[in-house]
Amino acid sequence: MGIGLVSSVLSKSSSLSTADYASVVSINLFVTLLCACIVIGHLLEENRWMNESITAIAIGLCTGTVILLTTGGKSSRLLVFSEDLFFIYMLPPIIFNAGFQVKKKQFFRNFVTIMVFGAVGTLISFIIITLGASQLLQKMGIGHLGIGDCLGTLTLFPFLQYFVLDQDETPFLYSVVFGEGVVNDATSVVLFNAIQNFDLANINYNTVLKLILNFFYLFTVSTLLGVFAGLLSAYIIKTLYFGRHSTDREVAVMILMAYLSYMLAELFDLSAILTVFFCGIVMSHYTWHNVTESSRVTTKHVFATMSFISEIFIFLYVGMDALDIEKWNAVKSTPGKSVGVSSILLGLVLVGRAAFVFPLSFLSNFFKKTANEKINLKQQVTIWWAGLMRGAVSVALAYKRFTLSGHTQQQKNAMMITSTITVVLFSTVVFGLLTKPIVRLMLPSQHLGRMLSSESTPKSLQTPLLGNGLDSEADLGSPDVPRPTSLRMLLTNSTHTVHHYWRKFDDAFMRPVFGGRGFVPFVPGSPTERSGHQWH
């Protein structure tokens, strides 16, 4: 839209170098488009078919077309952003906000289910996609697809699209599908490292053991780093009590510490997503209660806003990038193949996801006591479907993987990226349009949201993970929970027990040191409880 204008201005601009000027132009364009997306997204709020991500993709596509036409089909280079942008600036606020706003009760109650879905499920998916893709694509004559490429495809599909599953309406499904995505990142990092360090051709018992240990090491260290950053911020703010002098310091420290946890994890090759997610959880449990009331309102909204802007930005970028002429030129000679690859990938992902959602749900149900706690078929279908939906994060991750898997095989990479874009566009638009109605069809009654499922996998898996000092916040001991007295209760209701001890530990040791709800000195003139209620 601003291109004709832009070229006329370009000649005037003597004080800015060309590179600077191009970035000024693209920032202007992107900020304008972001505003447009927000306004249009607001106007379409009541529309049951549309959502903000589809709007952003549509606007991105239109802009891309206009740029292509204006520049005479030469390039869309005007709008090339570094892929780093996603991982250094866009991703942290999205994941942090997810951790900050997640319903901790739900998340930790379903912790083992989430872990199993995230770790085992990703592995199953990975194997199916790797085998399927290498067999099918070899038959098409594209040559052997690297394992890294499969991993790229795999990480396409971890995250829930937030707009579709509402945390308030379907807390169980939300926590499972979203949590699975977070754990998925850790699994992906482990697999990615494994591919580089191990010879996967001859897998033996030792390799598998190493992989599993590696996963638990990475998971534990990443989580601990996030927890540590969160606790440190809580301790600093509680001890120094910044609010006495300036609200801005509190907000600044929270933002900076959260970001620092992500960047540190990135520095040490950990799963930065896990780290910043747990940092968000700890910050909302401790730090957030230690700051002044205006800081509380500010942080809550500012994290949500940053996440919101980042998500729209990513979808906008995907829409625009879909028309990148260079990537399409690379696969121009083989349009049929490109379509074929896209279809195969899409199919494999559908199958791969089905291959672990249904069996693992069955396994999970096997350990459940009451019918109410089991994951019924409709819910299983929703988990399968919702997990397929492309979230902003998965798009960003796909870009990351393909950038990282090396530029040595340009032709194949271009093929994979165009296929990825096709899959992303197709699934976001088509699945996205269908998901709202499907979720409503599958889960018609609102009270399904109340159906909480407790975990049932053996305790041995659970203890080391829940031992990290993080557990559900559920107010246990509520009268409607029957209290079995046998050993079987200990196994089936183990999180309840763990949670009970966690609460005691939290109240006795953690909260007095790190603050938290009810453990901060009352500030005269600051109605502490008022906004606290809105929040939880």
List of residues contacting a second copy (CB under 8 A): 9, 12-16, 20, 23-25, 27-28, 31-32, 34-35, 38-39, 41-43, 45, 84, 88, 192-193, 196, 236, 240, 242, 245-249, 251-253, 255-257, 259-260, 263-264, 266-269, 294-295, 297-298, 301-302, 304-305, 308-309, 404
CB of 496 to a second copy, least distance (A): 35
Which of 367, 475, 439 has the alpha carbon at shortest distance from 174? 439
Local structure of 273: helix, strand or coil = helix
User: Smaller CB distance to a second copy: residue 69 or 240?
Assistant: 240
Which of 447, 466, 446, 375 has the alpha carbon at shortest distance from 104? 466
CB 225, CB 277: distance < 8 Å = no
Residues 6+ positions from 268 with CB-CB distance below 8 Å:
221, 225
User: Smaller CB distance to a second copy: residue 247 or 376?
Assistant: 247
**Burial class of residue 59, CB neighbours in 10 A (0-12, 13-18, 19+):** buried
CB of 519 to a second copy, least distance (A): 21
CB 320, CB 508: distance < 8 Å = no
User: Smaller CB distance to a second copy: residue 35 or 203?
Assistant: 35
The size of the chain, in residues, is 536
In the numeric block, which tokens belong to residue 517?
């709800």
CB of 25 to a second copy, least distance (A): 7
CA distances from 379 to 47, 64, 107, 438 (A): 25, 38, 17, 11
User: Smaller CB distance to a second copy: residue 369 or 436?
Assistant: 436
User: Smaller CB distance to a second copy: residue 14 or 408?
Assistant: 14
User: Smaller CB distance to a second copy: residue 108 or 308?
Assistant: 308
User: Smaller CB distance to a second copy: residue 142 or 306?
Assistant: 306
CB of 378 to a second copy, least distance (A): 28
- The per-residue b/e assignment along 84-101, b for 16 or more CB within 10 angstroms, e otherwise, is ebbbeebbbbbbbbbbbb
CB of 137 to a second copy, least distance (A): 24
User: Smaller CB distance to a second copy: residue 126 or 242?
Assistant: 242
CB of 24 to a second copy, least distance (A): 5
User: Smaller CB distance to a second copy: residue 165 or 451?
Assistant: 165
Q: What is the signed CA dihedral for 233, 238, 240, 246, rounded to 10 degrees?
A: 80
Which of 464, 399, 379, 389 has the alpha carbon at shortest distance from 433? 389
- The per-residue b/e assignment along 409-441, b for 16 or more CB within 10 angstroms, e otherwise, is beebbbbbbbbbbbbbbebbbebbeebbebbee
CB of 493 to a second copy, least distance (A): 38
CB 110, CB 375: distance < 8 Å = no
CB of 360 to a second copy, least distance (A): 29
Percent helix / strand / coil, the chain, rounded to 5? 75, 0, 25
What DSSP string describes 509-522?
IIHHHH--TT-SPP
CB of 134 to a second copy, least distance (A): 22
